[in-house]
Amino acid sequence: MIGKKIPHSERIYMDHAATTPVAAEVLDEMRHYFNERFGNASTLYFFGNEARDALHEARKSVAKLINASPDEIVFTSGGTESDNTALKGIALTNREKGNHIITSTIEHNAILKTCKFLESQGFDVTYLPADKKGMVDPRDVEKSITDRTIIVSIMHANNEIGTIQPIEEIGRICRSKGVIFHTDAVQSFGKIPIDVKKMNIDMLSASSHKIYGPKGVGCLFARKGVEFVSLIHGGSHEFGKRAGTENVAGIVGFGKACELARKELKNEMERETRLRDMLINGILDNIPDSYLNGHPEKRLPNNVHFRFKHIEGESLVLHLDMKGISASTQSACSSKSLKPSHVLLAIGLSEKDSHGSLRLTLGRDTTEEQIKYLLSVLPETVEYLRKVSPCV
């Protein structure tokens, strides 16, 4: 098998947490907005109206997925920009009120690096720990809030290990203390139910390319009344919260992707959960010394994350690639320059253990046959690598 050239159409994509293909319906909807309906949404004549209507429809669709109002949705270039806008926007707006920010050690770098930057600008950041399963304790949030706290940012679901946080409870605590609660929901948005009202969410980041929409577009939800300065200055686009001519085609695609996600959410959640559990149980039953990372129940329907003793994650990914499977790892032990995943270290894994990790994330195109193929290939690959492994 090794060395054989596997054509594109026969490859198995198991990295939907990294990105997803654009759905056919999404692309169909988008294509009109490149040439025929090419207008600038800020203009007053026919073509502008057409673009403006399209933006409005997309905004309604995005809002509906999370039970928000269309005027609470600001379109951005994606999850990273939304996270930056939430933290920096609130920090700059509330400097008089306080300089304290609360987040967790397992956040995406779009949050962590932004917090590091804000620390360099005089803000104090509390990084709350996560337990072995990757859960942040709402009581820790409560204990950490002071009268100088301006924002709490805790992700909804972790992009590496898939753990889903108790954000409804965290939101309740923040609301009762009058502190703004932001959540990076890039991995959960469109995959599990989100209701910003019920969950007491003040701000939420989402990204289109993680839900079968195009790359380079996303949104920041900000509840009515939550004030934050814009990071990008210019025209009065996006309610003055994000200047720049809107990426109309991209936003239309994002809107369509949200509509599809909403319609398919329940079925797809059940279908992927079943395949996920088939994969998890198959690995546990057939590969000795394999450990599931993250929470066994409170995890994303599409996330499988394993640690295999005496294995290097990178070698495993490369060997699986040769067998036509595209998967992910965060680490490598042969190259000392590559740091182990901050998430795995945060949930208590040693540097050595964190190196043997494999993330498989399922999607709409994942079939039961693919899971079976994976389960037929993975045990022998792990066994082979253990024999030749330098990680002992």
Closest distance to ligand PLP from the beta carbon of 372 (Å): 28
- Per CB under 6 A, does 160 bind ligand PLP? no
Distance, CA of 378 to CA of 44 (rounded, Å) = 59
CA dist list (Å): 311 to 289, 378, 384, 386: 10, 12, 10, 6
**Which amino acid does the sequence have at 270?**
E
Closest distance to ligand PLP from the beta carbon of 182 (Å): 12
Q: Are 180 and 323 in contact (CB under 8 A)?
A: no
Distance between start and end Cα atoms, the chain: 26
- Per CB under 6 A, does 87 bind ligand PLP? no
Strands 100-104 and 124-128: parallel
Distance, CA of 215 to CA of 210 (rounded, Å) = 8
Closest CA to 74 of 327, 257, 243, 280: 243
CA dist list (Å): 211 to 18, 35, 164, 240, 271: 10, 25, 17, 27, 16
Which one of residues 163, 207, 247, 341 is an interface residue with ligand PLP (CB under 6 A)? 207
- Per CB under 6 A, does 186 bind ligand PLP? yes
Q: Closest CB to ligand PLP among 108 and 256?
A: 108
Which one of residues 89, 218, 250, 313 is an interface residue with ligand PLP (CB under 6 A)? 218
Q: Which residue is nearest to ligand PLP (CB)?
A: 79
Q: Could you tell me which stretch among 78-86, 232-240, 276-284, 355-363 binds ligand PLP (CB under 6 A)? A: 78-86
Q: Closest CB to ligand PLP among 74 and 378?
A: 74
- Per CB under 6 A, does 187 bind ligand PLP? yes
- Per CB under 6 A, does 159 bind ligand PLP? yes
Q: Closest CB to ligand PLP among 165 and 389?
A: 165
- Per CB under 6 A, does 173 bind ligand PLP? no
- Per CB under 6 A, does 361 bind ligand PLP? no
Name the catalytic one among 174, 219, 333, 391: 333
- Per CB under 6 A, does 76 bind ligand PLP? no
To the query of whether residue 333 is one of the catalytic residues in this protein, the response is: yes
Q: Could you tell me which stretch among 4-12, 206-214, 307-315, 334-342 binds ligand PLP (CB under 6 A)? A: 206-214
Closest distance to ligand PLP from the beta carbon of 294 (Å): 14
Largest interatomic CA distance in the chain: 69
Closest CA to 91 of 127, 128, 121: 121
* C-beta neighbour count of 21 within 10 angstroms: 14
Q: Residue 52 has which token pair?
A: 């403006």
List residues with catalytic annotation. Answer: 333
Task: By CB under 6 A, name the binding residues for ligand PLP.
Answer: 78-80, 83, 108, 110, 155, 159, 184, 186-187, 207, 209-210, 218
